[in-house]
Amino acid sequence: MALSRRSVLAQAVVVLAAAATGACTPASGANPTGAPTQAPPPDRPIASWSLTGGFTMAGVRALRPPRLVIYSDGEAIADAAYRTRLDLDDLQSLLNRLANDLRAPSASPTTLIGPSIVDAPTTVLEAWDGQAIRTISAYGLDELRQEKVYGSAWYDARDRLGQIYKTVTVTAQPYLGAKVRVVAEPVMDATPGATVTPWPAQFPLPSVPDPANHDLVREDLDGQAARDAVRLLTRDLDQRGAWPTYRTADGHLVQASWRYLLPTE
């Protein structure tokens, strides 16, 4: 979906999101007199659920997409792999509830996080409340659910987006982006029993160091280069780290995978 169309359709979300802000206390820094509801920013989703950090291989972390993004025209994309279109009435209801969840007093952590959990991911939830993108981050949100470290409102928001995620993945409509990201990681040895294939001679190895891990290289591609990546390289669709091993022309081994980039990436 072209961003220009999203910019037009975003005007509808102005009306939808107004109900989410009319009866609630504004966030810190918001205009208490009730500033006019604005259109959401065209370069960001109006709701999203992401995971950052956690114990996972560096390559998977570098390639990991948001679990779910929802745009102002109702387009919902899960794992940068599946998509569906939400009904605008359902979108209105979701925005209203998310805005309330993320501003609720019960959303604050209720206890200190003890040493019972390490290397958990941080859950990041975002939603447009009619005036701004409201964001919360919670370390080990799912892992600490039974310990009641966080209040119920954050879990309500996470579960609302989780239900949309299930809806999107069950439809199994593939998301096919115009751009892709390729990540490659040098390795010393191939996985025992794994097949090593030559790196495609007509496809350049990524050359840009990953910002978070300079042992990795990556490349964001569009046009014919993106189509070549889709055609020539194997994709780790389930994000389980089962990357194929390739041998480059100079004899080095690399593992690589790719994913589609989101419209706003």
State pLDDT tens for residues 69-98.
Answer: 999 999 999 999 999 999 988 998 999 999
45 contact partners, CB below 8 Å, separation of at least 6: 66, 69, 70, 71, 126, 262, 264
| Whether residue 59 has pLDDT greater than 50 | yes
Indicate the pLDDT class of residue 119, thresholds 50, 70 and 90. confident
Angle, alpha carbons 63-66-71 (nearest 5°): 135
27 in Cβ contact with 129 (< 8 Å): yes
Chain segment 61-71, per-residue pLDDT in tens: 999 999 999 99
Most distant pair of Cα atoms in the chain: their distance:
66
Indicate the pLDDT class of residue 37, thresholds 50, 70 and 90. low
Q: What is the pLDDT of residue 117?
A: 74
Indicate the average pLDDT of the chain: 83
Q: What is the pLDDT of residue 4?
A: 41
Q: What is the pLDDT of residue 227?
A: 97
Least confident residue range of 61-65, 151-155, 191-195, 215-219: 191-195
| Whether residue 5 has pLDDT greater than 50 | no
Q: What is the pLDDT of residue 22?
A: 36
Indicate the pLDDT class of residue 108, thresholds 50, 70 and 90. low
Q: What is the pLDDT of residue 105?
A: 66
Q: What is the pLDDT of residue 17?
A: 38
| Whether residue 14 has pLDDT greater than 70 | no
Q: What is the pLDDT of residue 118?
A: 79
Q: How many CB atoms lie within 10 A of CB 151?
A: 16
Q: What is the pLDDT of residue 264?
A: 92
206 contact partners, CB below 8 Å, separation of at least 6: 182, 183, 184, 217, 218, 219, 256
Q: What is the pLDDT of residue 13?
A: 37
Tokens 């010393």 found at = 188
User: What is the reported pTM?
Assistant: 0.81
Q: What is the pLDDT of residue 240?
A: 81
